Amino acid sequence: MERRTEEFKRLIFDLMNGSLVLENNPPEESKYVENEFAEGKECEKAYSEILDAYQRICQRLGVGEEDDDIEIIMDSFNTIIECLCMKMFDYGSFFTQPSIK
């Protein structure tokens, strides 16, 4: 797979956030890219804290398991993270070109 394509960036992003099922036919890149949400990793710990806080807020609001506004916050934050990750990948590719000093 060409490394500078959107498909490749998406593969790396999905490997990093653990959203791919790797049991059957894992991609070659899975040997090098770690799931940053694996148990004990910093992202997993932070996400666990987010979920705990989410549940506490829902309890305080008396809304049960979900709140539309909190869902919007979470979804929007995930969109921001994805956008930043994709741009960081682009910048990494750009700044590793031999023509860039």
For 65-84, b where at least 16 C-beta lie within 10 A, e where not — what string? eebeebeeeeeeeeeeeeee
42 in any annotated domain: yes
And the tokens for 89? Answer: 């990948």
pLDDT in tens, 84-94: 999 999 999 89
Q: What is the pTM of this model?
A: 0.82
Q: How many domains does the chain have?
A: 1
70 in any annotated domain: yes
**pLDDT over 80 at 46, yes or no:** yes
pLDDT of residue 25: 84
51 in any annotated domain: yes
Considering just the CA atoms, what is the radius of gyration of the chain in Å?
Answer: 17
pLDDT in tens, 12-39: 999 999 998 888 889 999 999 999 999 9
CB of 42 closer than 8 Å to CB of 17? no
pLDDT of residue 86: 95
Give the domain extent around 40.
Answer: 34-86
